[in-house]
């Protein structure tokens, strides 16, 4: 390199000079300046006729000069200054909730403001999927209002009531009877005087459904999962947990010990390796292996037979969360456990009533009376929480009765007819349903912007679907979680699928996006 | 009649031609440049980029003249992280994308384009591809709506016309093929960086370093000819002011982002070439294929330089596209099936997530408090630091690192607190200061 090379003007400056000359129609100067442009830039900006500028028609009559000016301007001026966008929408679509997880500053009140600003931008652009409210009982059709006060009515895949018990006469009758007999309030912890005779009956019914006779009730499913883990696991113990296990289990694990290993979703071989690894240096402490039965965002389930065997081989204890499958699938409503022939065989089972049993609440079950008493004493969320109300308890007991009756089989058959109708129609339209046929139909989208925009359209087009994104799913793998009910007619499901496909196609066009949603 | 004509003969084009020719197909490569020559680009190759070269038997030629390293230093607002990409993640990456994990290497390098592109183009010729340099394609021959060949000007000034079963557009961001076909841009992300760089001798930075502070970044990596590539970048909306004094502002940016590096360059460095730069780096995608044509490299998806990934992605495209084209040319599948397979990989969820990652980073907003704390939490956690680096370089999927259960665990396992890092002292004031254009 010679020293003149070193002193040479940089390409930006040269392009500015060329643009200047172009405005005067001075093609000779354009060519002269262009001769100095670096070889690098010439080899890159191959669409500019660097060597032929002198030959341009200076009058601009053929439009060539204008084209060259436009191309050079694109290289010279920041692109976004030329394409203004709606800043609210940009902000709303670009960020993730996690961006606000660690706010700065010592004022705990003030530092929530940034997050709130983002929420407001999402609300204004109608891309906030949370906190909608019902205007009437959620059925296969629901009437709802979003948190801007905008109302809509649509085919409802946004409620978790897999067996459509919310409108079932016997369930409502059970609620009324309990209300008459015991009143609305349980008035105490289940450890004190919060339980009724109905609670005992419910524990027995759940014991029969899971094959594990020692059952403890919790006032929410979340507190059952959290409570089971913090009740049993101590600082020096270990938790080995499926990466995608439910939030209450993840948070329970973190609260109980620092020794948490997340394993690849469903990978039993990975669990085995982690157990070998832990046992190679720790033979004294406990290991709790934690998984969901039916996973609520991927709609798949693990090989529990092998998993339970692997746990026993390494003196680890298995906990399975059957919140989404118990009652809604499997022989006699026994869920994934029943499907794998494991009734009564798993160490610890926990579940929630909110999906198929028409109420808040949850439970922990095992074959050990000692475990039951221990969990009652040491799971803070059992001892120090008001018991399920008598009405809730009665509803769940009645639900459990129906689930185990022939009517339960009939409801599950109807549910699966609707599930197949929905999945088949979506798949037939080229969309990707994840997992296995189950009351949860996860429709894969991927990109958050696309999902948020499609969700906005669906609201207006009469389909109620919950869009899940980070932190429920990993970044970049958002999806619609469609929750099917026994009350859905197959034709409703197909109609919804058609509307969803249209909304996704329109959103893709709106964002002018070329991305699909294949995994890799 | 060729099996394939490849327009453009650098990272994407020469590699595609090489791979097709090795499988016995008749290939013509046309490039308007003559070689060796540079093209606008810094030229950092992450380990998967190096692995591709190794898979093709070209790595030794590169490392014979280029320094390589495995550990990279990444310093964000004074929070240092060092690590290297784990072999296991590299293997997983190649298995997932290409179905085989042979040839992975852990090293990275900064290879001048005049060195690398020359090696690629020679390898293509040696594999049997016909290479015409200093030849420009000026027209696509279209028959019944299908691209069937090209016309252009040869190095001797004469016209040429050639036909092929498929035309591969490997002609970069400003792709002639795409422009001629009138292909629109999708997923446009206009916010991007300006980047200025040159080559300095006179000091040894040890290994590659990447620094960020506020809205600016800088990097130094040893490259060919005993020189170091030194690069600064910032938000393109500051570019006009930056341009007012390029050499002065390069130094100003270095001093701001990494005073140590600024000092090293100022006191010990000798600049050996002019300063190069561009701000034309907005991200976009184009349609991947159509009747008689397919795009690879920057032609199909261009994005900002801030993660230094374009050349490696061009290599990836070359493997994916040539594998797909081979299946079709060998009669094992229809062209539509082959192209659908290519598209499935290139327009997947993981690709979309990484594209978003780069485009968001290229807006060069100051790091947020939570991001900086994440960097602090990563200190002393080598496994996750390495995974973060692999994620940043598109070796491990974005979704596996940025997953709630992982981030919360990282948080819990943190060994350090923010106490030792001045950026946290008066974070609000520092953030405001970072918004000021340093060059205004
Ligand atoms: C500032 C900057 C810094 C970068 N830094 C890095 C980095 O550190 N690491 C990294 O991996 N990537 C980096 N990149 C990205 C990288 O440069 C590109 O992704 C890469 O060059 C793309 O390769 P390609 O083969 O697709 O296109 P190119 O390298 O652009 O090659 C296209 C070729 O096509 C030829 N051509 C065009 N039109 C015609 C025609 N009509 N007839 C014949 N030939 C034609 C051109 O002459 C050219 O040789 C950077 C980019 C920029 C802008």
pLDDT, tens digit only, all 520 positions of chain A: 445 577 788 899 999 999 999 999 999 999 999 999 999 999 999 999 999 999 999 998 999 999 999 999 988 988 877 766 777 787 888 777 777 877 877 899 998 998 898 899 888 888 888 888 988 888 899 998 988 888 999 999 999 999 999 999 999 999 999 999 999 999 999 999 999 999 999 999 999 999 999 999 999 999 999 999 999 999 999 999 999 999 999 999 999 999 999 999 999 999 999 999 999 999 999 999 999 999 998 999 999 999 999 999 999 999 999 999 999 999 999 999 999 999 999 999 999 999 999 999 999 999 999 999 999 999 999 999 999 999 999 999 999 999 999 999 999 999 999 999 999 999 999 999 999 999 999 999 998 989 999 999 999 999 999 999 988 888 888 999 999 999 999 999 999 999 999 999 999 999 888 888 777 7
CA gap A248, A359 in Å, rounded: 18
> Coil, strand, or helix at residue A101?
coil
> Coil, strand, or helix at residue A64?
helix
Atom 28, ligand 1: residue with shortest CA distance: B172
Q: What is the ipTM of this complex?
A: 0.89
> Coil, strand, or helix at residue A464?
strand
The alpha carbon of B13 and the centre of ligand 1 are apart by a number of angstroms equal to 10
Find, among B408, B398, B407, B389, the residue nearest to A475 by Cα.
Answer: B398
CA gap B80, B78 in Å, rounded: 6
- Taking an 8 Å cut-off on Cβ atoms, the answer to whether B370 and A79 are in contact is no
CA gap A71, B77 in Å, rounded: 36
User: Strand runs (DSSP E) across A74-219, as ranges?
Assistant: 133-134, 141-145, 151-157, 214-218
CA gap A413, B262 in Å, rounded: 71
Q: Is the CB of B281 under 6 A from ligand 1?
A: yes
The CA-atom distances, in angstroms, between A300 and each of A245, A411, A424, A470, A510 are 11, 21, 17, 19, 32
Find, among A500, A487, A407, A420, the residue nearest to A137 by Cα.
Answer: A487
Q: Give, in degrees to the nearest 5, the angle at Cα A300 between A298 and A304.
A: 140
Q: How many residues does chain A have?
A: 520
Q: Give, in degrees to the nearest 5, the angle at Cα A315 between A314 and A321.
A: 100
- Give the nearest partner residue to A78 out of B196, B237, B402, using CB atoms: B237
**Cα A420 versus chain centre, distance:** 22
User: % helix / strand / coil in chain A, to the nearest 5?
Assistant: 50, 15, 40
Joined tokens for residue B108: 């990275």
CA gap B55, A202 in Å, rounded: 63
Q: How many other C-beta atoms can be found within 10 angstroms of the C-beta atom of residue A90?
A: 16
Placement of tokens 């007819």 in the chain: A417
Q: Architecture of domain B193-278 in CATH?
A: 2-Layer Sandwich (3.30)
- Taking an 8 Å cut-off on Cβ atoms, the answer to whether B409 and A5 are in contact is no
The alpha carbon of B41 and the centre of ligand 1 are apart by a number of angstroms equal to 7
User: Strand runs (DSSP E) across A256-385, as ranges?
Assistant: 260-263, 287-292, 317-321, 348-352, 362-366
- Give the nearest partner residue to B38 out of A43, A241, A247, using CB atoms: A43
Placement of tokens 């909306």 in the chain: B237
Placement of tokens 């009665």 in the chain: A394
**Matching CATH topology for A114-156+407-515 and A169-404?**
no
Angle of the B310-329 helix axis to the B335-346 helix axis, nearest 10 = 160
CA gap B432, B429 in Å, rounded: 5
Res A3: pLDDT: 52
Interior/surface letters B51-79, b for 16+ CB within 10 angstroms, e for the rest: bbbbbbebbebbbeebbbbeebbbbbbbb
User: % helix / strand / coil in chain B, to the nearest 5?
Assistant: 40, 25, 35
- Which atom of ligand 1 has the smallest separation from the CA of B10? 25
Within 8 A of B40 by CB-CB distance, chain A residues are 40-41, 43-45
Domain assignments of chain A as residue spans, ordered by start: 11-76, 114-156+407-515, 169-404
The C-alpha of A476 sits at a distance from chain B's nearest C-alpha, in angstroms, of: 5
Nearest chain B Cα to A478, which residue?
B349
Q: Give, in degrees to the nearest 5, the angle at Cα B145 between B139 and B150.
A: 25
Interior/surface letters A426-437, b for 16+ CB within 10 angstroms, e for the rest: beeeebbbbbeb
Q: Give, in degrees to the nearest 5, the angle at Cα A12 between A6 and A15.
A: 115
User: Strand runs (DSSP E) across A243-303, as ranges?
Assistant: 260-263, 287-292
For A2-27, what is the HEC assignment? CHHHHHCCCHHHHHHHHHHHHHCCCH
> Coil, strand, or helix at residue B32?
coil
CA gap B91, A263 in Å, rounded: 19
The dotted CATH code for A169-404 is 3.40.640.10
CA gap B77, B369 in Å, rounded: 11
- Which atom of ligand 1 has the smallest separation from the CA of B281? 53
Res B408: pLDDT: 83
CA gap B333, B330 in Å, rounded: 8
Find, among B436, B334, B396, B308, the residue nearest to B96 by Cα.
Answer: B396
Within 8 A of B277 by CB-CB distance, chain A residues are 10-12
Give the side-chain half-sphere CA count within 13 A for B32.
Answer: 25
Q: Are A227 and A381 in contact (CB under 8 A)?
A: yes
Find, among A8, A15, A81, the residue nearest to B238 by Cα.
Answer: A81
Q: Are A372 and A215 in contact (CB under 8 A)?
A: yes
Within 8 A of A12 by CB-CB distance, chain B residues are 239, 243, 246, 277-279
- Taking an 8 Å cut-off on Cβ atoms, the answer to whether B237 and A254 are in contact is no
Give the side-chain half-sphere CA count within 13 A for B1.
Answer: 2
Q: Are B372 and B213 in contact (CB under 8 A)?
A: no
Which regions of chain B are under pLDDT 70? none
- A134 has which bridge partners? A144
Q: Are A432 and A443 in contact (CB under 8 A)?
A: yes
B49 Cβ contact list (under 8 Å, min separation 6): B108, B311, B312, B315
Give the model confidence (pLDDT) of B294-333 as tens digits: 999 999 999 999 999 999 999 999 999 999 999 999 999 9
Using a CB cutoff of 8 Å and minimum separation of 24, what contacts does B384-389 make?
B384/B410, B385/B81, B385/B82, B385/B83, B386/B83, B386/B84, B386/B85, B386/B86, B386/B89, B387/B86, B387/B89, B388/B81, B388/B83, B389/B72, B389/B74, B389/B81, B389/B83, B389/B84, B389/B85
Joined tokens for residue A257: 């010990």
Give the model confidence (pLDDT) of B120-129 as tens digits: 999 999 999 9
A150 Cβ contact list (under 8 Å, min separation 6): A126, A459
Find, among B151, B148, B181, the residue nearest to B164 by Cα.
Answer: B148
State the sign of the Cα–Cα–Cα–Cα dihedral B333, B338, B340, B346: positive
Nearest chain A Cα to B246, which residue?
A10
State in words which class domain B2-68+107-187+282-356 has.
alpha beta
The C-alpha of A251 sits at a distance from chain B's nearest C-alpha, in angstroms, of: 9
Window 78-117 of A: residues touching B by CB (8 A cutoff) are 78-83, 94, 98-105
Q: Exposed, middle or buried by CB within 10 Å (0-12, 13-18, 19+), for B252? A: middle
Find, among A403, A390, A402, A393, the residue nearest to A361 by Cα.
Answer: A393
Within 8 A of B153 by CB-CB distance, chain A residues are none
Res A87: pLDDT: 77
Cis peptide, bond prior to residue B36, ω within 30 of zero = yes
A114-156+407-515: CATH topology: 3.90.1150
Radius of gyration of chain B (CA): 22
The CA-atom distances, in angstroms, between B438 and each of A225, B362, B431, B435 are 52, 18, 13, 9
CB of A32 less than 8 A from some CB of B: no
DSSP string, A358-400: SSS-EEEEES-HHHHHHHHHH-HHHHTSPPPPHHHHHHHHHHH
Q: Are A25 and B150 in contact (CB under 8 A)?
A: no
Radius of gyration of chain A (CA): 30
The alpha carbon of B285 and the centre of ligand 1 are apart by a number of angstroms equal to 15
Q: Give the pairing type, strands B193-201 and B209-213.
A: unpaired
Joined tokens for residue A459: 């609201």
């Amino acid at each position: 390199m010679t020293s003149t090379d070193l002193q040479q003007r940089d390409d930006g400056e040269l392009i500015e000079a060329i643009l200047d000359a172009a405005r005067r129609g001075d093609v000779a100067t354009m060519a002269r300046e262009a001769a100095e442009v670096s070889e690098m830039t010439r080899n890159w900006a191959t669409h500019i006729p660097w060597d032929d500028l002198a030959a341009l028609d200076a009058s601009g009559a053929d439009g060539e000069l204008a084209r060259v000016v436009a191309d050079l301007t694109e290289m010279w001026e920041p692109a976004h200054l030329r394409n203004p966008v709606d800043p609210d929408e940009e902000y709303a679509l670009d960020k993730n909730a996690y961006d606000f997880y660690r706010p700065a500053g010592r004022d705990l009140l003030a530092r929530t403001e940034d997050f709130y600003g983002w929420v407001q931008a999402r609300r204004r652009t109608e891309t906030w999927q949370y906190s909608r409210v019902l205007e009437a009982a959620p059925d296969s059709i629901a009437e709802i209002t979003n948190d801007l006060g905008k109302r809509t009515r649509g085919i409802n895949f946004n409620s978790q009531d897999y067996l459509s018990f919310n409108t079932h006469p016997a369930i409502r009758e059970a609620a009324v009877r309990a209300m008459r007999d015991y009143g609305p309030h349980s008035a105490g912890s289940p450890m004190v005087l919060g339980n009724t005779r109905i609670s005992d009956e419910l524990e027995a019914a759940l014991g029969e459904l899971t094959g594990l006779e020692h059952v403890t009730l919790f006032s929410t499913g979340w507190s059952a999962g959290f409570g089971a883990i913090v009740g049993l696991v101590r600082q020096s113990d270990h938790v080995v947990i499926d990466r995608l296990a439910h939030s209450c289990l993840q948070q329970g694990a973190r609260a109980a010990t620092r020794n948490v290993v997340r394993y690849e979703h469903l990978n039993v071989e990975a669990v085995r390796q982690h157990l070998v690894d832990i046992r190679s240096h720790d033979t004294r402490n406990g290991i709790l292996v934690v998984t969901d039965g039916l996973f609520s965002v991927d709609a798949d389930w693990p090989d529990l037979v092998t998993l339970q065997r692997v746990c026993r081989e390494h003196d680890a204890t298995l906990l399975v969360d059957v919140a989404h499958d118990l009652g809604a699938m499997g022989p006699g409503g026994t869920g994934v456990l029943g499907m794998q022939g494991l009734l009564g065989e798993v160490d610890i089972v926990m579940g929630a009533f909110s999906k198929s049993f028409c109420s808040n609440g949850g439970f922990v079950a095992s074959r050990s009376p000692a475990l039951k008493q221990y969990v009652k004493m040491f799971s803070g969320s059992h001892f120090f929480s008001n018991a399920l109300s008598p009405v809730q308890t009665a509803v769940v007991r009645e639900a459990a009765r129906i689930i185990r009756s022939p009517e339960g089989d009939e409801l599950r058959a109807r549910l699966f007819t609707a599930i197949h109708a929905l999945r088949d129609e979506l798949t037939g339209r080229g969309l990707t349903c994840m997992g296995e046929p189950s009351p949860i139909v996860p429709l894969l989208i991927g990109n958050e912007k696309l999902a948020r925009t499609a969700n906005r359209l669906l609201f207006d087009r009469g389909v109620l679907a919950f869009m899940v994104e980070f932190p429920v799913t990993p970044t970049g793998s958002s999806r619609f979680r469609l929750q099917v009910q026994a009350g859905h007619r197959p034709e409703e499901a197909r109609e919804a699928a058609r509307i969803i496909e249209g909304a996704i196609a329109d959103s893709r066009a709106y964002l002018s996006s070329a991305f699909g949603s294949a995994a890799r | 009649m060729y099996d394939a004509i490849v327009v453009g003969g650098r990272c994407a084009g020469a590699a595609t031609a090489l791979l097709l020719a090795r499988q016995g197909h008749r290939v013509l490569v046309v490039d308007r440049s003559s070689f060796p020559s540079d093209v606008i680009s810094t030229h950092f190759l992450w380990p998967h980029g190096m692995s591709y070269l190794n898979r093709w038997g070209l790595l030794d030629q590169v490392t014979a003249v280029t320094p390589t390293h495995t550990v990279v230093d990444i310093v964000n607002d004074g929070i240092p992280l060092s690590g290297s990409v784990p072999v296991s993640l590299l293997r997983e990456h190649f298995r997932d994308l290409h179905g085989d994990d042979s040839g992975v290497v852990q090293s990275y390098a900064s290879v001048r384009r005049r060195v690398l592109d020359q090696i690629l183009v020679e390898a293509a010729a040696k594999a049997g591809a016909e290479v015409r340099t200093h030849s420009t394609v000026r027209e696509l021959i279209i028959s019944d709506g299908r691209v069937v060949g090209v016309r252009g000007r040869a190095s001797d000034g004469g016209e040429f016309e050639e036909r092929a079963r498929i035309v591969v557009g490997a002609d970069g961001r400003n792709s002639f093929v795409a422009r001629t076909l009138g292909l629109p841009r999708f997923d446009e992300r206009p916010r991007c960086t300006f980047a200025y760089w040159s080559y300095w001798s006179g000091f040894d930075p040890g290994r590659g370093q990447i620094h960020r502070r506020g809205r600016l970044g800088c990097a130094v990596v040893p490259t060919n000819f005993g020189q170091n590539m030194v690069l600064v970048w910032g938000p393109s909306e500051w570019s006009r002011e930056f341009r007012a004094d390029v050499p002065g502002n390069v130094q100003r940016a270095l001093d701001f982002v990494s005073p140590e590096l600024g000092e090293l360059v100022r006191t010990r460095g000798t600049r050996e070439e002019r300063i190069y730069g561009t701000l034309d780096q907005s991200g976009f995608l184009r349609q991947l294929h159509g009747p008689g044509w397919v795009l690879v490299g920057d032609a199909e998806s261009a994005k900002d330089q801030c993660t230094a990934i374009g050349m490696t992605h061009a290599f990836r495209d070359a493997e994916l596209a040539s594998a797909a084209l081979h299946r079709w040319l060998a009669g094992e599948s229809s062209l539509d099936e082959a192209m659908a397979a290519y598209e499935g990989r290139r327009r997947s969820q993981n690709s979309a997530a990484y594209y978003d990652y780069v485009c968001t980073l290229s807006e060069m907003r100051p790091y947020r408090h939570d991001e900086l704390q994440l960097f602090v939490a990563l200190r002393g956690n080598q496994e996750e630091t390495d995974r973060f680096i692999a994620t940043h370089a598109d070796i491990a999927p974005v979704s596996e690192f940025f997953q709630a259960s992982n981030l919360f665990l990282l948080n819990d396992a943190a060994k350090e607190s923010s106490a030792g890092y001045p950026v946290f002292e008066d974070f609000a004031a520092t953030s405001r200061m970072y918004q000021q254009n340093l060059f205004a």
